[in-house]
Amino acid sequence: MPTRLFHVDSFTSQMFAGNPAGVAFASPDLADDVRLSIAAELNLSETAFPTARPDGTWDLRWFTPTVEVDLCGHATLATAHVMFEDGIADGDTITFHTRSGELHCTSTDSGITMDFPTAPVKVCEPAPGLEDALGIQAHKYGIGETFALVEVDSVDAVANLSPDLGALREIDISAVIVTASGDVDDGEADFVSRVFGPRIGVPEDPVTGSAHCLLGPWWSGPLGKTTMLAHQVSARGGHLWVGCHDDRVILTGQAVTVFETQLPL
């Protein structure tokens, strides 16, 4: 059967902003190397592959142009957006089975909410060479299963960051989050961030839902808030609401379909 392929901008209410993702409704028998080839052809930070289960729930996998990843927020949002908009979803909530457990996406008046697991962060010393590669000094540093997290002293330092991506690729970390409290240009966000992952084929990710599974708990205590507005200050930029509840993070955002096509696969 042909693969229905969507290009969706996530964490934005308008086209050509936020984080673009591919969503491919393919045969469950499609080989992994073909899935990876589709992701490489699109050359977006992630392409999602949802597959229906007989019980009405869905399997969901995500591929960068070079590897399969355990969790991706913006491509999950893109998938749920397409399913709600196209009438594929049965009801207001979709259950996805993933390598990170069950994820639930619900359509609301303010967007789509995604129920994700929190990602623990261990505070430690920065990885050797990381500060030099980023060209910045860490105020505080932590490491999670997938991301390193670098807190710096100012939002301007995050916004103006120009890392050495070649040097960053040589450090044994899948991706690096750089963050600070406050917002640029007197905005309303509680904290800002940027995310770099050249080691997994993503030089800079425009808006990274999964990074906020670390950022939410990281900032919730110091800011004294359980619900925060986050601003990822990449060139495309994007906003999302982040709620922290026990061992779960609730991410809320919007998405826009840019185009749909088919592949003869």
Q: Which active-site residues does the annotation give?
A: 46
Token output for 254: 């919007």
Q: Scan for tokens 């207001």, then name that residue.
A: 92
**Residue 9, phi then psi, degrees to nearest 5:** -95, 120
Instruction: Compute the radius of gyration of the chain from its Cα atoms.
Output: 18
CB 38 within 8 A of CB 2: no
The Cα–Cα gap between 68 and 71 comes to: 9
In this structure, what is the dihedral angle of CA atoms 197, 201, 207, 209, given to the nearest 10 degrees? Answer: -80
Q: Percentages helix, strand, coil for the chain, rounded to the nearest 5?
A: 20, 40, 40
The Cα–Cα gap between 89 and 58 comes to: 10
The Cα–Cα gap between 241 and 238 comes to: 11
DSSP designation for 126: P
Work out the burial of residue 6: count CB atoms within 10 Å of its CB; fewer than 13 is exposed, 13-18 middle, 19 or more buried. buried
Coil, helix or strand for 186?
helix
CB 168 within 8 A of CB 131: no
> To which H or E segment does residue 200 belong?
none
